[in-house]
Amino acid sequence: NAPGVSLPEGYRGEVNLAMEEWTSQLSGALDRGFILTIDYGQLATNLYSPQNNQGTLVCYHRHAVSSDPYQHIGQQDITCQVDFTSLMRLGDRHGLATAGYVLQSQFLTNLGFSSFLDKLQSQRLSAARMELSRMAMMALVAPEEYGGFKVLAQVKGDGLGTQLLGFEGQGI
The torsion angles phi and psi of 78, rounded to 5 degrees, stand at -120, 130
Q: Which pLDDT score is estimated for 75?
A: 95
Pairing mode of beta strands 41-42, 82-83: parallel
How large is the angle between the packed helices 127-139 and 113-121, nearest 10 degrees? 170
- For residue 109, what is the enclosing H or E element? helix 104-110
**Rounded Cα–Cα distance for residues 14 and 26 (Å):** 22
| DSSP at 137 | H
pLDDT band at 102 (very low <50, low <70, confident <90, very high): very high
**56-99 pLDDT per residue, tens:** 999 999 999 998 999 999 999 999 999 999 999 999 999 999 99
The torsion angles phi and psi of 140, rounded to 5 degrees, stand at -65, -25
**3-25 pLDDT per residue, tens:** 678 887 888 989 899 999 999 99
Q: Where are the domains of the chain?
A: 13-98, 102-154
Q: What is the mean pLDDT of residues 97-117?
A: 93
